[in-house]
Structure 1
Amino acid sequence: MTAPASANSHSPGRPFKLQALLFLYSNANIAGCALALAGPALLFAGAIGPGWLAITAGLYAAGWLLGRAGRQAPEIDRHIEDSLTVDEALRRLDALAAQVSPHLGPEMNAHLRSLRTSIAEVLPRLLGDRSHHDANLFTVRETVLRYLPETLANYVALPPAFRTTHAVKDGKTARQILADQLALLDAKMQDIVANVAGADAQALLANGKFLEMKFQQPDFLAGMG
């Protein structure tokens, strides 16, 4: 996961083919196509005549507007400020979890809750003792405050149909990739809690480097053409 990039289908940094795919999978286009099917149906039923193409186009436009207005992805904060207090950071994490929860499956939400438990235990030490372990634990703080929010924000920004049906990397959908990442991050954060409790500086450094490498690219569409 490198620097964050928007998953918006109109992002100028996206190749045209990818932008077209995101549009095709969007709720607006799916709703527009579904409503537009009524045009040919009405024609074959004899309810409309020569103007059926214009009526079909109008139905698509109406469906597109309804789909765009009805199921807009929420705006997710892509980072949590390092300057926040522990309580403030946890409240931001809780707000983030509440926003993304409807877009995740039961197992993914379970990992997110477990992550929150681990973070609540370890965050006071990470933010409260910056001088002693700052070099070793910087990457871990980044995972909590930036990598996780960015990854979840990029996932939620994808059209729901695209997340679950279109393979984006190694034959896996964005939903499968996020499930794998949350499971891995959950396990690593539990390791970090144990290492912090045991004052195992060497293990903390190893976990921090691992997370930096594994979660440095929060954009599910990076590299797609």
Structure 2
Amino acid sequence: MKKYIVAGLLVWLPLAVTIWVLAWVLGVLDGVFQALLSLVAAVLPASAAALIESISQIPGLGVIVLVVLMLLTGMFVANFVGQWWIRMWDRIFQNIPIVKSIYSSVKQVSDTLFSSSGQAFREAVLVQYPRDGLWTIAFVTGKPGGEVGEALQGDYVSLYVPTTPNPTSGFFLMAARTDIRPLAMSVDEALKYIISMGVVGPENGAPGEPEPAPH
């Protein structure tokens, strides 16, 4: 009986987790959409507010509207006029006290993570942490800069060490490049390895490497 229960669990668990994650994402998007509608309804007459309230009850509409909005925004900022508006937008937010600190920090992080030319989270490595003799997987996020880069003599890299099974939290380290070991596995394979707590290992051999012939 235990064997059959475990086999059934292995079938349903991935589906249940996938549905839970998708439901959470949809809930967040719907929450953002509801907040935007509430702001619009607050400045409109009562008749229009009632119409907006009825529109907000349509399931899934928030996701569709936000996806279309992001698509249109991306198309707009891809041209010269959109780039000019983005510069004006950034200048306005960077002149507002308190807001400028949060906005600038989030923008720098998002530009670094999602830029096609950036090197953040493009390489998985092994590093000894939390002490010598214990190894964990980390992701290279760049090189120390500014005063920190000047204080560290030599070739150092910035590392993000994710926690298990939730890789969205972790630790920030700066280590000498000679103290890390590069890995041939992709970032996706490394994330699977971390989230599964080592149960789902990377595929044997480097990409494109032929499998060894059977003896």
Query: Does TM, normalized by the shorter one, top 0.5?
Result: no
The structure whose RCO (Cα within 8 Å, separation 6+) is larger is 1
TM-score, structure 1 as length reference: 0.29
Considering fraction of residues, name the structure with more helix.
1
TM-score, structure 2 as length reference: 0.30
Considering fraction of residues, name the structure with more strand.
2
